[in-house]
Amino acid sequence: MPKLSKKQTRILEIIKNSQDEHGEAPTVREIAREIRVKSPHAVSHHLDQLEKKGYIRRSADTSRNIILVSTKDGKPLPDVIKVPLVGWSSGGVGILAQENVLDWIPISTRFLKQDADVYLLKIKGGSMSPRIEDGDVVIVKKQYTAEPGDTVVALLGDETTVKKYIPKEDHIVLQPENSDFEPIMAFPDELRIQGIVKGVLKYY
């Protein structure tokens, strides 16, 4: 790996410490305070160099957009992407609206493709158990259409629901997997599909 200046080595340490202690990367201004420089542009220059040298990767979707891909000793780290964790939509706020993003979660590209267009949603309720249970986090592919039998995240009015999508001749059935819950009937113009569930993250 290309050699680092003392300032660049220090910046890598700051990034790693922030991720270890807080679970997220520092902002440019936070790095500037740590290395005692007044101009964020000076930090941005060092970050540009670190990215060119292969120590970090950055995206444009958040101010905490720095991902470590190598240690200061040049050892590779697991490649990860940051995926938005969104809240359950209610009261007219769209599920994918920026103000509905609760956090950015790092996930290894061993499980998701680098260009995967996905988001995470924490499940509320037990209508899809036992496959998807209350508190599970589902990986959702962003798309606005579905095939029969897909498990969809959808807005029905202003409320979010996760159900199996079963289209009929003149209406749609949103089918729970738990027999304790009743199916939901909706007309196509009442339903807005927000994505297809592609995986489940369970915590024990």
Dist CA 30 CA 32 (whole Å): 5
**E-strand spans in the chain?**
56-58, 66-68, 80-86, 101-108, 118-122, 137-141, 151-156, 159-167, 172-175, 184-186, 191-201
Backbone angles phi, psi at 6, to 5 degrees: -60, -40
Q: Is the bond into 176 cis (omega within 30 degrees of 0)?
A: no
* CB-CB contact of 111 with 137 (8 Å): no
Catalytically active residues are 127, 163
Structure tokens at 2: 């290309």
**Rounded distance between C-alpha atoms, residue 32 and residue 35, angstroms:** 5
Distance between CA atoms of 57 and 52, rounded to whole angstroms?
9
Q: Is 23 exposed, middle or buried (0-12, 13-18, 19+ CB in 10 A)?
A: exposed
The DSSP bridge pattern shows strands 66-68 and 56-58 to be antiparallel
